[in-house]
Chain A
């Protein structure tokens, strides 16, 4: 069964700390992986998209890595700020069709304390 797991479910850190969010998937035959941010009462915002042939993607203070062989992806946030507080979800795409199958993890809720 194709599953995506994010541990921990919640994380609290002081402002300025560097942190890593984890995403693991059971089937390594992925096409791509996306990291999303969700603020309370809002929709999801796509942060980074890593294709299966890539090892990492960077955007500002965010860096996402992908290791298909171990079934893991990490989202690294540098110099965290209170504005980074949100729920972060990873989603793994399978299948060769145009839409394939996108499986979401349950998310990690991050709180950055001033």
Chain B
């Protein structure tokens, strides 16, 4: 069972570059989320989606964009990368929002230098 798949696992960007973090789930979940985890901190919600074509901002959306054209995929776009975006990014999904357990991907470790 694949579950939630994130690519790439590691990436180094230069300041001002852009990139897309990929996330795909094969559980037919409607709800998908993007979090970032900074060292010694809890996870912060960047964006979330309640279904294909529907996205909304979380706690820390600045500098990021998302799209949800299919149920399976929820890519996160970083425009004009900044050192403050150095973090570990996690994608998660669930079938009924936070009423049920979240399933997480293995994360993308991003460094912006």
Q: Which residues of A contact B (CB under 8 A)?
A: 4, 9, 31-32, 34, 36, 41-46, 49, 89, 91, 93, 98-107
Task: Report how far A90 CA is from B90 CA in the complex, Å.
Answer: 16
Pull 21 A–B residue pairs with CB atoms less than 8 Å apart, ordered by A.
A4-B42, A31-B99, A32-B98, A32-B99, A34-B101, A43-B4, A43-B90, A43-B92, A43-B105, A43-B106, A43-B107, A44-B43, A44-B102, A46-B102, A98-B98, A99-B48, A99-B56, A102-B45, A103-B42, A105-B42, A106-B40
**B-side interface mostly:** strand
**Interface size of B by Cβ–Cβ distance < 8 Å?**
26
Q: Do residues B50 and A46 form an inter-chain contact, with CB atoms below 8 A?
A: no
In the complex, whether B41 has a CB less than 8 A from a CB of chain A is yes
* Secondary structure class of chain A's binding surface, majority of residues: strand
Q: Is B97 close to A, CB under 8 A?
A: yes
Contact across chains for B98 and A93 when beta carbons are under 8 A apart:
yes
CA A91 – CA B35 in complex, angstroms?
Answer: 13
| A9–B41 alpha-carbon span in the complex (Å) | 11
Given A41-B107, A43-B105, 12 new contacts (CB under 8 A): A31-B98, A42-B107, A43-B6, A43-B106, A44-B102, A46-B102, A49-B101, A89-B42, A98-B96, A100-B98, A102-B98, A106-B40
